[in-house]
Amino acid sequence: MIRIPKISYNSSYILLLFTLQYVISVASMCGFPGAPAHSTVKFNTKAVRKGTVAKYTCDRGFELLGPTRRLCGENGTWIPQGIPFCVLNVAAGKAPMQSSVANGGVPQKAIDGSTSKFFDASTCTKTEVERSPWWYVNLLEPYMVQLVRVDFGESCCENDTPATIVIRVGNNRPDLGINPVCNRFIGKIEEGRPLFLPCNPPMPGAFVSLHFESPIGVSFSICETFVYTDQALPIERCPSFRDQPPGSTATYNGKCYIFYNQQPENFERALSFCESRGGSLVDESNPALQGFLSWELWRRHKGDANGQYWNGAVRDREDSNNWKWINGKQVSVSFWNLPGGVENCARFDGTKGWLWSDTNCALRLNYICQHSPTTCGKPEQPPDSSLSSSGYNIGDIINYSCDVGNLLVGPSSRKCLSTGFYSEFPPICRFIQCGAPAEIPNSLITLQNRSFVFDSKIKYECKRGYILAGRSILTCDVDGRWDGPPPHCEPVYCQEPPPTRQGGVTLSTNSTRFGTVATYYCVNPRLQLNGGKSLYCREDGSWEGTVPRCIMAPIVTRKEDNFLERLPMPSNDRPIPFMSKYPPIKKRMEPRPLESNTLSGPMSNEIPDSANVIASRNPNVNLLNPIKVNKESLNANINWGGIIALAVFGGFVFVAAIVTTIVILIRRKGSSSGSLETDSFRNHIMDSASPTISSSPTRSSSHREGDRDGSELVITQSKDEKNRSHHHHHHHRHKHRSRSSSNRRT
């Protein structure tokens, strides 16, 4: 197993490199090269590798077409690429015909099994000069024709004129030229040189014809014609006995027929002889079979009067007008020479064109034994496959499997049938490879088969702190694609950090994902943290650490006033009383959450300027704890009050001075006005000045109250200033009254 981490921008390069490495390693190895039916493949080395040679041989009765040796090359392919064929010539000994005959060149000479590199009247056919001469062969049964080979007896044509030869395969009359075209050749025809014309794909038919289409007006000569197929039953698959005559076996439609013409017997003994060897007399009939048997009998005996063979039909004992086969079935198709007759057995009558004649069962005649084949032979094995079987005899089953990375297209098993052929068509192994898996950030990929070929599996896993969303295992499917969308790795998130009373929290990231650090702080600078100040979001989605508490700082002593002070924290609960000469804080501070991407929180009890803040969400809790008083802030408040008091006092003195000056001036310039008028004027002046003087301390006091909030210590001396101002005011008025009385007395 190979694990490929995808952690950086070059992960695709890593996958590409691995894929190339795999392809190179696989390319250096060759799989099974493939073998045709009816063949054997042998290797010159135990393990197939570069330089291994595969040698092909065909089973007895078949001819090898194609390369006999193939080499495993450097790129993992076999050279040459084509797989050879083991084929059977099904045209030999069959029924031919041609458009005309010249110089004794009968059509049978083209399938007599003898060829020549030049025209030989004893083995080559020849037609008259015709417009479009033709030649065909009746195969007597349909075959899947794969290749037609023609050995011409004469060259064509003069002045290097190209000839046109058309090969047709089908079941219609070949002289009509309407069967499908297997192949067409246009070129020069050379005497004795074979011409191979394959049918691609193979074509079924019982007639194979050659048509000389151009040039017009030529003679057509053939020394030998071969019609090849690998789907024919060779006589080698039929039962063989020592006493049977040479060349006595023929095959048709999956059955073997042995012609015994040297030991005639009566009907009963002939039947017993065939049954003793696992066969029977011919017990079926149809036009095609009748044509096959007639041809084989004619070929062996021509017009010989001794050419008489038993047929497996007998007269019905219950109905003399009815005939049955020896297996008990009714004779539905018959080929009688003459109707009627009184004999109980039937024969193939050579004197009547091999039609049927009723015959005395006691006569001694030749006979034909019908057998089933004994084996199906070796089946096809596609490249990059394996084949297993207990044998190749009738009833055996073979099983196919493909190498890694290949898809089996077709049946995985086949059975050897009684006809000597395997059921269904052979499968193929198709190589399939998927592309590199999709890149998933923060993931690892496990290649379970060290490749991306068919049926390979990949497994996605996420790195620490991430969770997989989607399918973790994907398989390379038949279409060359992974069988599902890739998953993705989502980060693990913790819940919001637990709140702490009178405190807030900042996050090192903009979320609570894995690895985030939550740093606590106290919202009031008079409080300090008790415990660790940070929590860590773990990969399982839980916080690591304990939540701290905000407590009062230790009690400190004020040197200026020699007293201890406790400041209450904002609370909706019943407050704990404490001693202080300062008025209680009326307004409760509310923490203001701030948002920031800063990576570190505040130090101890400092409030950060810019951070992700999660304030305490327990407004109903109030703890009163001792904290340290900020002396600098306290002194700043005392100085501010003194400045206000001095300003008010200075204003009062200034107004008093103005009033005194006015009084003196009036007295100097006054006339003989009475003392009552003077007192009245003086009182008027004093009354007008009094509101200004008395209001100043009040405004200062209210101003200070407005500046004060619930989170800071405010030292207020409003009463003392009011008292001093009031005392000074009365003293001043008293002074003026004394002076007025003195003047009146004077």
Q: Are 126 and 219 in contact (CB under 8 A)?
A: yes
Any idea of the CA torsion for 376, 378, 379, 383, to the nearest 10 degrees? 180
Q: How far apart are CA 589 and CA 670, in angstroms?
A: 63
pLDDT for res 702: 37
Q: How far apart are CA 167 and CA 65, in angstroms?
A: 19
pLDDT digits (tens, 9 = 90+) for 439-498: 889 999 988 878 889 989 999 999 988 999 999 999 999 999 999 999 999 999 999 999
pLDDT for res 98: 93
- Element spanning 320, H or E: none
Which residue from 432, 428, 486 is spatially nearest to 455, judged by alpha carbons? Answer: 432
pLDDT band, very low/low/confident/very high, at 639 (cuts 50, 70, 90): low
3-state secondary structure of 501: coil
Q: How far apart are the first and last CA of the chain?
A: 126
pLDDT for res 525: 87
Q: How far apart are CA 707 and CA 568, in angstroms?
A: 19
Which residue from 226, 368, 176 is spatially nearest to 289, judged by alpha carbons? Answer: 368
pLDDT for res 640: 61
Which residue from 29, 21, 54, 102 is spatially nearest to 436, judged by alpha carbons? Answer: 21
Q: Are 689 and 681 in contact (CB under 8 A)?
A: no
pLDDT for res 303: 66
Residue whose structure tokens are 């790129």: 75
Q: How far apart are CA 548 and CA 131, in angstroms?
A: 113
Neighbours of 394 (CB within 10 A): 17
pLDDT for res 686: 42
User: pTM for the whole thing?
Assistant: 0.61
pLDDT digits (tens, 9 = 90+) for 40-50: 999 999 888 89
Find the radius of gyration of the CA atoms of the chain.
Answer: 60
Q: E strands, 622-668, where?
A: none
pLDDT for res 9: 35
pLDDT digits (tens, 9 = 90+) for 426-456: 999 999 999 988 888 999 998 887 888 998 9
Task: Provide, rounded to the nearest whole percent, the portion of the chain with pLDDT above 90.
Answer: 48
3-state secondary structure of 506: strand
31-86+376-431, CATH topology level: Complement Module; domain 1 (2.10.70)
pLDDT band, very low/low/confident/very high, at 642 (cuts 50, 70, 90): low
DSSP 378: P
Neighbours of 57 (CB within 10 A): 14
Q: Are 622 and 600 in contact (CB under 8 A)?
A: no
Does 158 score more than 50 pLDDT? yes
3-state secondary structure of 66: coil
Where exactly are the structural domains of the chain?
31-86+376-431, 91-229, 239-371, 502-629, 635-745
**What is each CA distance from 715 to 291, 581, 641, 645, 706, in whole angstroms?**
134, 9, 8, 13, 13
Class of domain 91-229: mainly beta
Amino acid identity, position 258 = I
pLDDT band, very low/low/confident/very high, at 711 (cuts 50, 70, 90): very low
pLDDT for res 718: 35
Phi-psi bin for 341: left (phi > 0), alpha (psi -120 to 50), beta?
left
Structure token digits, residue 590: 């509310």
CA 20 to chain CA mean position, Å: 19
**What is each CA distance from 37 to 54, 444, 495, 635, in whole angstroms?**
16, 47, 70, 110
Q: In what order do the strands lie in the sheet with 443-447?
A: 2-6, 443-447, 457-462, 473-475
pLDDT digits (tens, 9 = 90+) for 255-304: 999 999 888 999 999 999 999 999 999 999 999 999 999 999 998 887 67
Positive/negative CA dihedral, 381, 385, 391, 397: negative
Within 8 A by CB and 6+ apart from 392, the residues are: 375, 376, 377, 378, 379, 398, 416
pLDDT for res 76: 87
**What is each CA distance from 353 to 142, 302, 304, in whole angstroms?**
23, 10, 11
pLDDT digits (tens, 9 = 90+) for 368-393: 999 999 999 999 999 999 999 989 99
Q: Is 691 exposed, middle or buried (0-12, 13-18, 19+ CB in 10 A)?
A: exposed
Of 3.10.100.10, 2.60.120.10, 3.40.50.300, 3.40.190.10, which CATH number belongs to 239-371?
Answer: 3.10.100.10
Give the CA count within 13 Å in the CB-facing half-sphere of 323: 27
Task: Provide, rounded to the nearest whole percent, the portion of the chain with pLDDT above 70.
Answer: 74
Structure token digits, residue 299: 């070929």
Read off the pLDDT of each residue in 620-630 and give the average, rounded to a whole number.
40
Which residue from 554, 548, 552, 553 is spatially nearest to 571, judged by alpha carbons? Answer: 552
Q: Are 44 and 55 in contact (CB under 8 A)?
A: yes
Q: Is 68 exposed, middle or buried (0-12, 13-18, 19+ CB in 10 A)?
A: exposed
Q: Are 213 and 207 in contact (CB under 8 A)?
A: no
3-state secondary structure of 201: strand
Does 72 score more than 90 pLDDT? yes
pLDDT digits (tens, 9 = 90+) for 160-179: 889 999 999 999 998 888 99
Average predicted confidence (pLDDT) for the chain: 78
- Element spanning 696, H or E: helix 675-707
Q: Are 32 and 386 in contact (CB under 8 A)?
A: yes
**What is each CA distance from 542 to 239, 464, 494, 499, 512, in whole angstroms?**
82, 14, 6, 15, 10
